[in-house]
Amino acid sequence: MIDLHCHILPELDDGARSLDDSVAMARQAALDGIEAVCATPHIRHDHDVHIPEIARRVAELQQTLSDEGVPIEILAGGEVAQTAAEHLTDEELHRVSLGGAGGWILLEPAPGPLADGLTHVVDHLAMRGAHTIIAHPERHADVDLKRRLHGFVEQGCLIQWTAQFVELAKDEDLVFRYARDGLVHLLGSDAHSSMAGRPVSLTAGFERLRHVCPAEWVTWMAESAPRAIVAGEPISPPW
């Protein structure tokens, strides 16, 4: 498995507090059966993340994990805020794409219900050759959420839910209804630290989905889609 959404780089945004914290997060990932983690620091105005430095920070963490014997590959990426995406240069957009391959951008919606502004940003990214993954829609739930998600899927987006949210959801919760409707495409840990909050874990969330979705759907979500994404390849749900 590949975790496409994780704030594992140390002392950068609101993620890992130290290098030790980053290593502990990577150990969590390894115990969960995750093989690679996309480092996705926040790219937005309230975090002082210098995009040209991300590759160096990824390499430094990778070297530490190798020295510590932690079998996790760290990949470049970013969680790009809706309000920041249109202001990035082509080079910056490539650097914060998942896997650094230039194909897919993890897009963080503005607070509140999903709205037309996000649709505009998705179109803007598409015109620049980038596909979009909509992050954590569970944080933007309102009466219009399902229609909005269907609209983003029609635009070619993939929808990524937070793994722990899925893991802890009740059987009757909306995420499972949406999963049966084909609106759950990916899970990400969105972990920020080993010391508190969401762990670097995907397995339990996928296991919950196996109870409501065909097995081949979950295999695509957990294996096929993430590998294509970090390779920069276009992909769409087989259903």
Mean pLDDT of 111-132: 97
**pLDDT bucket at 153, cuts 50 / 70 / 90:** very high
Mean pLDDT of 127-146: 96
Two tokens at 219? 């295999």
**pLDDT bucket at 2, cuts 50 / 70 / 90:** very high
Cβ neighbours, 10 Å, residue 109: 22
Average predicted confidence (pLDDT) for the chain: 97
Two tokens at 215? 């097995």
pLDDT of residue 72: 98
Two tokens at 55? 């590759």
pLDDT for residue 89 is more than 90? yes
Mean pLDDT of 59-77: 98
Domains of the chain: 2-230 (3.20.20.140)
pLDDT tens digits, residue range 178-191?
999 999 999 999 99
**pLDDT bucket at 48, cuts 50 / 70 / 90:** confident
Nearest Cα residue to 105 out of 125, 89, 83, 124: 125
Q: Report d(CA 13, CA 92) in Å as an integer.
A: 17
**pLDDT bucket at 47, cuts 50 / 70 / 90:** confident
DSSP structure string for 23-75: HHHHHHHHHTT--EEEE--EESTTS---GGGHHHHHHHHHHHHHHHT---EEE
Sign for the pseudo-dihedral over CA of 55, 58, 60, 66? negative
pLDDT tens digits, residue range 21-46?
999 999 999 999 999 999 999 999 88
pLDDT for residue 3 is more than 90? yes
Q: Report d(CA 139, CA 127) in Å as an integer.
A: 27
Strand, helix or coil at 79?
strand
pLDDT of residue 125: 98
**pLDDT bucket at 226, cuts 50 / 70 / 90:** very high
Mean pLDDT of 80-87: 96
